[in-house]
Amino acid sequence: MRKALHLVLRTALGTALGLGLLTAAPAWSKAPEVLTFTKDQARTTVEIVDRLAERHYRNQPLNDDLSSRYLDQYLENLDPAHSYFLAQDIKEFEHYRYRLDDQLKAGKLDAGFAIFHRYRERVVERLEAIVAVLEREDFKFDFSKSESLLIDREQAAWPRDRAQADELWRKRLKSAALNLKLAGREEAEIKKTLHRRYKNQLKRVRQQDQADAFEAIINAFTLLYDPHSNYFSPRSLENFNINMSLSLEGIGAVLQTEDEFTKVVSLVTAGPADKQGELAPADKIIAVGQGDEGDLVDVIGWRLDEVVQLIRGPKNTVVRLEVIPASGTAKDVGKVIRINRGKVKLEEQAAKKAVFELSDGKQLYKLGVIDIPAFYIDFDAYRNRDPNFKSTTRDVRRLLNELALENVDGIILDLRNNGGGSLQEATTLTDLFIDQGPVVQIRQTNQTISRHHRSRSRAKYRGPLVVLINRLSASAAEIFAGAIQDYKRGLVIGTRSFGKGTVQSLTPVHEGQLKITESKFYRVSGESTQHRGVVPDILFPAMVDADEVGESSYDNALPWDHIHAVPHPQYFDLKKILPKISSLHDVRVKADPDFVYLVDQLKMLEESRSKTTVSLNEAARKKEQDMMEQRALALENKRRKAKGLEIYKTVEEFKADDDAEDGAPSSNFAGREINPDKDPLLSESGYILVDFIRTLKNQETQKVANF
């Protein structure tokens, strides 16, 4: 019976591809094993339900409403592209909609395992059909037809029947092949790559066991509370720790699985990937190669731990990653990034300084920059009472002393890409810039509010201050920037920050561990940093897609809200002076070739991001690529002409000279080189600081005159 079903499926797909009838199912065809939950998993489920109800910050009852949301979340997690399940499956699952809450409370997982089994059946059927098609010698792709594929199927309906599903997968397979062809692969190599990709995916689906099913079922439930509450089975906890070690020893990246891809979540400051400068959050890794000559191994559909094992390796060795860049103008064209493996050293994450000069046409100003990659502290040395323990605050205090000796007129604190770290360090660093007062409020699950994190001494530096942030400034970095903004101590400029304003803890359950959100950060103004992040006083172009990166990009993220403010002084009357400084900024950036280039580049990226379909016609796709390359060339030549530089005559000349000293600037703050000549956002931050200094001096002059 099941072989007959496979034959019908393959026949339909083969006909849709124009291949004719497939006469037999492969010898390796067999149904996936039916998985059942264990008594230990039932007990663990009850514990997790109770822990979430008792300790999670979001107080929500487990009732029919949550049960309904849970079914939708579970189906979306299993099949986010709406490409495996059929409409009839979804209709059949409806009778579970208001029963799942009662089953979870009782530790019964029959419905979850039944849905998981149907999912595995659909995946195995589909992948077997594709593999069978790719094994046919007479199979060829036809890229001459004018047709397209919907890129984002998150809101698309599930296929109404097998015929519609076959048509969808015909296009998906064709799109995958065309991507490889446009990357320079020959037809035989394309078929081999795709055959290996789908055969590997099939193997991995068949290897799934009851632990995989249980984790999928439970995490669909925990994600209804917030995106940072997760269940780790014993095996996944080990993989989680391996991935975190990859962030410290390997390439310096935190990864996660999204759909069939391995996605970059974040980069560790001063890690190998950060230093190399090309890999970025939200990039999707599609292949991994060892050394400069090793074959690129296709990893689409692989388990996260398997991809991590490929990426890890001895320090001072090379790994090559083929990625689909999140910030690229084409969502389906990969590029290869070469990274030297290494280990992240604490001293490489240390704050550092630089001094540069800017003129307003009348006076030369000396400006200090302190780059703060993370809020770090050597906890072992601190606990052992080592008087020379290393920390962000101690390093910045020293740098402030050095800048004072250099007689700088003002200071920029650069928190771009600072993913946070020690809350203690965020507090003590704030202490260097404000007098005594609260820095952050923390509200617990029981709604009690703690205000123990305070500045406790007089400010070390009292001069003009600018804090530069971006979308990757998160957690502790947001607490510091928010405090500076609330105290009106300085100007916060850049792009809206990440919006991570919650605190998690790991707690053991019967099997595995539960990561649970237990508290929330609030600024002294009473506003949360959660979801909304810190909104700068002056906004810069946002090259990172907020729909892909940041707390607001997550489903079920805790919302922004506010509590009572706590009394705090305000240092400068920014409300009075900010309009003038903003006006000067607006005028200046309209004439700055590098800044205009970034704005133009952003427009091009936004157009690309708004695309909902991709052409499956080779000529049309090549034309699109050529047009994008010509447009990129035009933007660069516009910049070069405005700066009096020699323009590029061809795209090839532009690409060949891409690493030139006078090459296009980038807003992807990677490698953390303090150089305003190559960093237009830092340069403009300097001009804003100069305007701030002048405005403050004018105010003081007026006070003296009025006196």
Could you please report the per-residue DSSP string of 115-144?
Answer: HHHHHHHHHHHHHHHHHHHHT-TT------
Compute the distance between CA of residue 648 and CA of residue 635 in angstroms, rounded to an integer: 11
* 542 touches 495 (CB < 8 A): yes
CB half-sphere exposure, 292, CA atoms < 13 A = 1
* 441 touches 522 (CB < 8 A): yes
3-state SS of the chain: helix, strand, coil percent to 5?
45, 15, 40
* 350 touches 395 (CB < 8 A): yes
Compute the distance between CA of residue 533 and CA of residue 530 in angstroms, rounded to an integer: 6
Cβ density class 229-255: b for 16+ within 10 Å, e for less: bbbbbeebbebbeebeebbebbbbbbb
- Return the beta strands (E) in 344-438 as ranges: 352-359, 364-371, 410-414, 437-438
- Tell me what pLDDT residue 588 has: 94
* Residue 414 β-bridge partners: 371, 468
φ, ψ (nearest 5 deg) of residue 500:
-90, 100
* 464 touches 365 (CB < 8 A): no
* 173 touches 147 (CB < 8 A): no
Give the CA-trace dihedral at 276, 279, 280, 284, to 10 degrees: -170
Q: Is the dihedral angle over the CA atoms 249, 253, 258, 262 positive or is it negative?
A: negative
Q: How would you classify the pairing of strands 410-414 and 364-371?
A: parallel
- Tell me what pLDDT residue 13 has: 38
Per-residue pLDDT tens over the stretch 528-584: 999 999 999 999 988 888 888 889 988 899 999 999 999 999 999 999 999 999 999
Q: Indicate the angle between helix axes 593-609 and 618-642, nearest 10 degrees.
A: 160
Domains 230-343 and 346-575 share a fold: no
* 326 touches 314 (CB < 8 A): no
* 331 touches 611 (CB < 8 A): yes
φ, ψ (nearest 5 deg) of residue 254:
-105, 130
One-letter amino acid at 360 equals D
Compute the distance between CA of residue 462 and CA of residue 553 in angstroms, rounded to an integer: 37
Compute the distance between CA of residue 587 and CA of residue 590 in angstroms, rounded to an integer: 6
Going by C-beta distance under 8 Å and a sequence separation of 6 or more, which residues neighbour residue 91?
A: none
Q: Look up residue 671 and give its DSSP letter.
A: T
φ, ψ (nearest 5 deg) of residue 510:
-50, -45
Compute the distance between CA of residue 172 and CA of residue 192 in angstroms, rounded to an integer: 16
Compute the distance between CA of residue 98 and CA of residue 118 in angstroms, rounded to an integer: 19
Q: Helix, strand, or coil here: 397? A: helix
What is the C-alpha R_g of the chain?
28
CB half-sphere exposure, 309, CA atoms < 13 A = 8
- Tell me what pLDDT residue 664 has: 59
The tokens describing 447, both together, are: 């709604």
Compute the distance between CA of residue 393 and CA of residue 351 in angstroms, rounded to an integer: 9
Domain chopping of the chain, boundaries: 2-222, 230-343, 346-575
Q: Indicate the angle between helix axes 162-182 and 110-134, nearest 10 degrees.
A: 60
The tokens describing 642, both together, are: 């405005």
CB atoms under 10 Å from CB of 561, counted, come to 15
Q: Helix, strand, or coil here: 96? A: helix
> Residue 591: which H helix or E strand, with range?
helix 574-591
* 411 touches 456 (CB < 8 A): no
Going by C-beta distance under 8 Å and a sequence separation of 6 or more, which residues neighbour residue 159?
A: 82, 83, 86, 87, 165, 168
- Tell me what pLDDT residue 706 has: 40
- Tell me what pLDDT residue 1 has: 36
> Residue 343: which H helix or E strand, with range?
strand 342-343
Q: Look up residue 94 and give its DSSP letter.
A: G
- Tell me what pLDDT residue 344 has: 67
- Tell me what pLDDT residue 532 has: 94
Compute the distance between CA of residue 34 and CA of residue 633 in angstroms, rounded to an integer: 56
Q: Look up residue 528 and give its DSSP letter.
A: B
Compute the distance between CA of residue 210 and CA of residue 36 in angstroms, rounded to an integer: 6
Cβ density class 298-313: b for 16+ within 10 Å, e for less: bbbbbbbeebbebbbb
Per-residue pLDDT tens over the stretch 284-296: 898 898 988 888 8
Compute the distance between CA of residue 367 and CA of residue 277 in angstroms, rounded to an integer: 26
* Residue 99 β-bridge partners: none
Walking along the chain (707 residues) 10 residues at a time, the average pLDDT comes out as 36 36 47 88 96 94 96 95 95 96 95 96 94 90 92 88 94 92 88 90 90 94 94 74 53 80 82 85 88 86 82 87 74 77 72 92 94 83 75 93 96 93 91 94 92 90 96 94 96 96 92 93 95 95 84 92 93 93 94 91 84 91 91 92 91 74 56 80 95 86 45
* Residue 355 β-bridge partners: 368
Instruction: Cite the active site residues.
Output: 475, 486, 500
One-letter amino acid at 34 equals V
Compute the distance between CA of residue 478 and CA of residue 420 in angstroms, rounded to an integer: 8
Compute the distance between CA of residue 93 and CA of residue 111 in angstroms, rounded to an integer: 9
CATH architecture of 346-575: Alpha-Beta Complex (3.90)
The tokens describing 603, both together, are: 């427009």
Please give the distance of CA 388 from its chain centroid, rounded to a whole number. Answer: 35
- Determine whether domain 230-343 maps to CATH 2.30.42.10: yes
